[in-house]
Amino acid sequence: MELMTRAGCSACAAAESTLRRILADYGLEPQVVDVDERAAAGDVLLRAEYGDRLPVVVLDGAEHSYWEVDEPRLRADLTAAR
């Protein structure tokens, strides 16, 4: 589970808090990825893909939701994956 973010993004901070709360129920933690930091390190693809829709939740390599965490859908998908 990844959360694509950027520094200074209040929606990203709210999404991270929500995601951490949800994932704690499943014994999981998100990998938080700052797309601007990655771009500065040479990986410009993430910022190109997600930069205008942050925050973005990525589950199993596929975009799951953006701008906010879709809690009911995420819980259903995590439960199904168990």
pLDDT tens profile 19-49? 999 999 999 999 999 999 999 999 888 889 9
- Please say if the pLDDT value at position 11 is more than 90: yes
Give the percent of the chain with pLDDT over 90.
87
Q: Which CATH architecture has domain 2-81?
A: 3-Layer(aba) Sandwich (3.40)
Structure tokens at 39: 């771009």
Structural domain boundaries of the chain?
Answer: 2-81
Contacts of 52 (CB under 8 A, 6+ apart): none
Give the Cα separation of 66 and 3 in Å (integer): 9
Rounded-to-integer distance, Cα 3 and Cα 12, Å: 8
Q: Residue 54: which of 8, 23, 20, 1 has the closest Cα?
A: 8
